[in-house]
Amino acid sequence: MTLYLLLAALLVAADQLIKYWTVTVLQPIGSIPLWQGVFHLTYVENTGAAFSMLEGRQGFFIFVTIAALLFMIYLYKTGMFKGVLGHLCIALILGGAIGNFIDRLRLGYVIDMFDFCLINFAVFNFADICITIGGAIFVLLTFLDYKAEVEAEKAAKLAETQQKEEEQA
């Protein structure tokens, strides 16, 4: 797990470096179109969640982040997510959550910069990408674990039925 904690720390560092660049280079000019009308780098101070939902509720977001971090630690300690994908999921979510948490504590808002304006999507940041990918892996692993559990139950019932048939014969 030490390797994955190191990965989480590197993700936090990458997030903070990208945000530093965003503040020093992008903030003074506002936006740089990488593909005009499709994808821009745009400086945004987000006091809410995605699409600025719950704007200005920093206390709530700090509480939710702490709860999420504690939940990830709990999942690790209980062994719910084992193996490379499970630990990668935890590292991505931890790295992203801590990256945005630092902004909220230090600045009172999160710095966003990736602006997929073709579909008027929310402006997001590297930490958000980490959280989203980690969350997708979490959902996938949860689904696969549930599916394996259902298959095991079916196999157990089938074995039980076969055993009863053999006893009757």
What pLDDT was estimated at residue 165? 77
Active-site annotation holds for 145:
no
Q: Which of 15, 103, 112, 115 is catalytic?
A: 112
Q: Which of 15, 103, 115, 128 is catalytic?
A: 128
What pLDDT was estimated at residue 145? 78
26 contact partners, CB below 8 Å, separation of at least 6 = 32, 41, 42, 43, 113
Say how many domains are in the chain: 1
Nearest Cα to Cα of residue 100 among 41, 58, 39, 43: 58
Q: Is the pTM of this model over 0.85?
A: no
Nearest Cα to Cα of residue 12 among 106, 100, 75: 100
Tokens describing residue 40 = 């821009």
What pLDDT was estimated at residue 52? 64
What pLDDT was estimated at residue 143? 87
What pLDDT was estimated at residue 67? 92
What pLDDT was estimated at residue 50? 65
Residues 93-116: tens digit of each pLDDT: 999 999 999 999 999 999 999 999
What pLDDT was estimated at residue 11? 98
What pLDDT was estimated at residue 51? 57
Residue with tokens 């509480």: 63
Could you tell me the CA-to-CA distances from 141 to 114, 147, 156 in Å, in that order? 28, 10, 22
- For residue 50, give the 3-state DSSP assignment: helix
Tokens describing residue 98 = 């801590």
| d(C-alpha 99, C-alpha 75), whole Å | 20
| d(C-alpha 155, C-alpha 161), whole Å | 10
What pLDDT was estimated at residue 25? 96
Strand order in the sheet with 31-35: 31-35, 39-46, 110-115
Strand partners, 42: 31
User: From first to last of its 169 residues, what are the pLDDT tens digits of the chain?
Assistant: 688 889 999 999 999 999 999 999 999 999 999 999 999 999 999 987 765 666 767 788 888 889 988 888 888 788 777 788 989 999 999 999 999 999 999 999 999 999 999 988 889 999 999 999 999 998 998 888 767 676 777 777 877 777 877 777 6
Find the domain containing 66 and state its range: 2-168
